[in-house]
Amino acid sequence: MNTQFKPLIWSGTAVLVILSVFLLASTDKVVNTATTTNTVSFNGEGKVVAKPDIAKVSLSIVTDALTSKTAQDENSKKSKTVTDYLKKQSIDDKDIKTTGYNIYPQYKYQQYGGQPTITGYQVNQSLEVKIRNLDNASNVLDGVVTAGANQIGGLSFEIDNPDALKAEARKKAIEDAKKKASELQGQVGISLGKIVNFSENIGDYPTPLYYDVKVGSMREDGPPIPFGENEISINVNLTYQIK
C-alpha cells in the first residue's frame, strides 16, 4: 500500500468510528425518550373515617404589671395554678406543653410627638394542651379559665396516632388507581408496563372551635358541623409505561 494514502485511510477510519458512536448515542436517546414519554397516569382516592380520641386546645396566660419582674412572678403563679388544675383532671405532663413565652413593654405615646415612655410590662405564656377524655373537654375549658387562663385559642378534635389509618387510606387509593388502569387497558386496547412514578396527597383537616371567655361556652366560627368522626383521605397518582 502506498504510504501517501495511509493518512487518508486513518482519517477515514476515525470519522467512521466517531459517526458510529454518535449514531449509537442517538439511538439510545430515542429509545430512552420513548420509554419515558409513552406514559399514562391514573388518580386514586382512599378514605377512612374514625372517631377522634383527643382534643387539642391552645390557651394563654396574660399578666400586666408595672415591672417586668412583677409581671413574670405573677404570671408564673397563674401558670402553676392552671397546670395544677390540669393535672387534677388527669392530664399528664407530656400533654401540657409551653409553646410561647413573651414579655412586651407597654408604652404611653405623647399626644404631640416626643419619645414614648414605658408604663409597664405584659407577660404572655402560651400552652398547648391535649385532652384525652373527650367527655371532659368542656369542663376542662371552663376550669382553666377559672384557674387563670384568660385567652383560649382553637380547639380541635383529632386522632392522636393516625399512621395506621393513613396506611389503610393509602392502600385503598392505590387499589382505586390500579382498578382504573386495568379498566382502561380493556377499553382502549393498550398494554401497560411497570409503574415509573408515584405521588400522594394527604388531606386531614380537623375543624377548630373557639372558646369565648366572656360567654363561657364553646361556639363554632361558622355553620354547625358534627364532631363525632374525622375523615382521613389520601389521593395518589400512579404513572405507567405504555408497552
Across the chain, which has 243 residues, the per-10-residue mean pLDDT values are 53 52 43 60 93 90 96 96 95 95 92 85 96 88 91 85 92 96 86 92 60 42 50 93 90
The CATH 3.30.70.2970 portion of the chain extends over 54-158
The confidence score (pLDDT) of residue 18 equals: 54
Residue type, position 152, single letter: I
The conformation of residue 93, written as its DSSP 8-state character, comes to G
What strand order describes the sheet that includes 54-65? 96-108, 117-131, 54-65, 151-158, 209-212, 217-219
Tell me how far CA of residue 216 lies from CA of 54, 85, 143, 201, 230, in angstroms. Answer: 21, 17, 10, 38, 26
What strand order describes the sheet that includes 39-50? 39-50, 230-242, 192-203
The CATH 3.30.110.170 portion of the chain extends over 38-51+161-207+228-243
- CATH level 3 topology of 38-51+161-207+228-243: Translation Initiation Factor IF3 (3.30.110)
Give dist(CA 103, CA 35) in Å, integer: 61
The confidence score (pLDDT) of residue 233 equals: 92
Predicted model pTM: 0.64
The confidence score (pLDDT) of residue 3 equals: 53
What CATH class is the domain 54-158? alpha beta
Q: Count of alpha carbons within 13 Å of 4, Cβ hemisphere only? A: 0
